[in-house]
Amino acid sequence: MSHAQPRPLTVSARGPLRGTVRVPGDKSISHRSLMFASLAVGESRIEGLLEGEDVLATAAAMRAMGAQIERGDDGVWRVHGVGVGGLLQPAQALDMGNSGTSTRLLMGLVASHAISATFVGDASLSSRPMGRVIEPLGKMGADITASPGGKLPLMVRGLVPAVPIEYTLPVASAQVKSAVLLAGLNTPGITCVIEPVPTRDHSERMLRGFGAEITVEELPQGKIISISGEAELKPQQIVVPGDPSSAGFWMVAASIVPGSEIQIANVCLNPTRTGLITALRMMGADITEADVREVGGETVADLVVRHAPLKAIEVPAELAPSMIDEYPILFVAAAMAEGRTVARGAHELRVKELDRIAAMRAALEAAGVATEEFEDGLAIQGSGGGALPGGGSVATLLDHRIAMSMTIAGLAAAQPITIDDVAPVATSYPDFFETLSGLQL
Ligand code: S3P
């Protein structure tokens, strides 16, 4: 699933953005829909699945472990699951491509099944830390052999029955939380995760919807999430709401390009995902919510975003888990604000698809923006609303969000910005460039 052919792109400012976009299905919910449906007995239907490479890697892995997964001509995905405990030994290594979510969550599933699986991925994924899931899954009894530094390629040999644990998350990570909960599905007894800092809660919501016994208690030390195994999951009809992380690119694009006004339809507003909206509003962005409704157990709304002058802020560190994937595009908004924006407390950015602090610093500097790098974040000197100098050349190093963020920066730059490879955008937002063309007059 590596991108054999790099796709370079030069982006120039082309005037206001107008129109309506419908963002693709949420990536986190799409992965979980396929995984949980693959563990239910009977047919689940999934509408609005994100058909990006990361999610397709999850689909291929679940097929390799016995689930029947098909996409109908109507765009609806139909999944016949094998039942919790029923995953089959995959014949070959599971190719996770660029997807950390697929890797970490599936390691959890394999850990408590009587199978072994080898996980491989692209250069970016192979440099990401897996020790954070190896540690708790090892405590549950899985035998995991990783490459040096706890990296991919690695092999997980599951244990049946696995041992239920009580695990306090040392990092704010929904992937680690979910890996342990998913291992808990096929583990007799109660597996418990203590989460001192809240992270996205799609696993909890969806597992409850699939019929698992899962409880969440709010205590002073954080949330205690307990799952009872061995669980039985019932097939579901799922409608995946639009991805707030994908919507973030359009929120910032409309905010920074003078004269813009766009509607972004069908955006998931789960409160564990709305940090970018909060930060942009603190900066003075004009974002309104319309037709707020419930879709598949999540709050969804249409957003209207109009161009507005932005001012620098200190980005509250406590927003980090609810906007962790949105920092690259927030940094672009900061580059257009009046004053110096400081975002700290975001260490986790160092271990994303690549080190996003260093990568965004380099990308913004290439576009003529002055920055200061900290171990846990970035300070950015804004233009005060004037065009960014631009003119530079940006390396995306297999990171989809750097590619999309710097494309949006190019829309507000005096000189074109060249991006070495936008092919990685297909991992999370295959229609990104078509949607952009549709918004340009
Ligand atoms: C995700 C959790 C986050 C996020 C990733 C998707 C998930 O990662 O960055 O894109 O679906 O659980 P961490 O768990 O590492 O914070």
Domain boundary among 203, 238, 273: 238
- CATH (domain of 337): 3.65.10.10
Q: Which class for 135: exposed (0-12), middle (13-18), buried (19 or more C-beta within 10 A)?
A: middle
CA–centroid distance, residue 415 to ligand 1 (Å):
34
Q: Cβ–Cβ contacts within 10 Å for residue 61, how many? A: 26
In a domain, 1, yes or no: no
In a domain, 183, yes or no: yes
Q: What percent of the chain has pLDDT over 90?
A: 97
| H or E stretch at 217 | strand 214-219
**Angstrom distance (rounded) from CA 301 to CA 288:** 10
**Angstrom distance (rounded) from CA 229 to CA 316:** 38
In a domain, 107, yes or no: yes
Overall domain count for the chain: 2
Domain boundary among 220, 238, 256: 238
Band (3; pLDDT cuts 50, 70, 90): low
In a domain, 208, yes or no: yes
User: Model confidence over 228-237: pLDDT tens digits?
Assistant: 999 999 999 9
Greatest C-alpha distance within the chain: 61
Q: What is the mean pLDDT of residues 77-99?
A: 98
Question: 436 near 425, Cβ under 8 Å?
Answer: no
Question: 359 near 402, Cβ under 8 Å?
Answer: yes
User: Model confidence over 369-416: pLDDT tens digits?
Assistant: 999 999 999 999 999 999 999 999 999 998 999 999 999 999 999 999
Q: What is the mean pLDDT of residues 55-84?
A: 98
Domain co-membership, 101 together with 188:
yes
Band (207; pLDDT cuts 50, 70, 90): very high
pLDDT recorded at residue 4: 64
Question: 225 near 192, Cβ under 8 Å?
Answer: yes
In a domain, 41, yes or no: yes
Domain co-membership, 228 together with 276:
no
Per the structure, the complete domain to which residue 84 belongs is given by: 27-238
User: Model confidence over 118-150: pLDDT tens digits?
Assistant: 999 999 999 999 999 999 999 999 999 999 999
Q: What is the mean pLDDT of residues 412-424?
A: 97
Domain co-membership, 252 together with 309:
yes
Ligand 1 neighbour 178 (Cβ under 6 A): yes
In a domain, 2, yes or no: no
Domain co-membership, 13 together with 155:
no
Atom in ligand 1 nearest the alpha carbon of residue 352: 9
Tell me whether the omega of the peptide bond preceding residue 365 falls within 30 degrees of 0, making it cis: no
Domain co-membership, 158 together with 38:
yes
**Angstrom distance (rounded) from CA 331 to CA 379:** 9
Atom in ligand 1 nearest the alpha carbon of residue 199: 16
Residue nearest to atom 15 of ligand 1 (CA): 173
Coil vs helix vs strand at 223: strand
Looking at the DSSP bridge assignments, the partners of residue 131 are none
Global pTM reads 0.98
Give catalytic residues, as residue numbers.
Answer: 325
pLDDT recorded at residue 295: 87
Residue nearest to atom 11 of ligand 1 (CA): 28
Coil vs helix vs strand at 404: helix
Q: Looking at the predicted structure, is the pLDDT value of residue 1 above 60?
A: no
pLDDT recorded at residue 187: 98
Domain co-membership, 330 together with 432:
yes
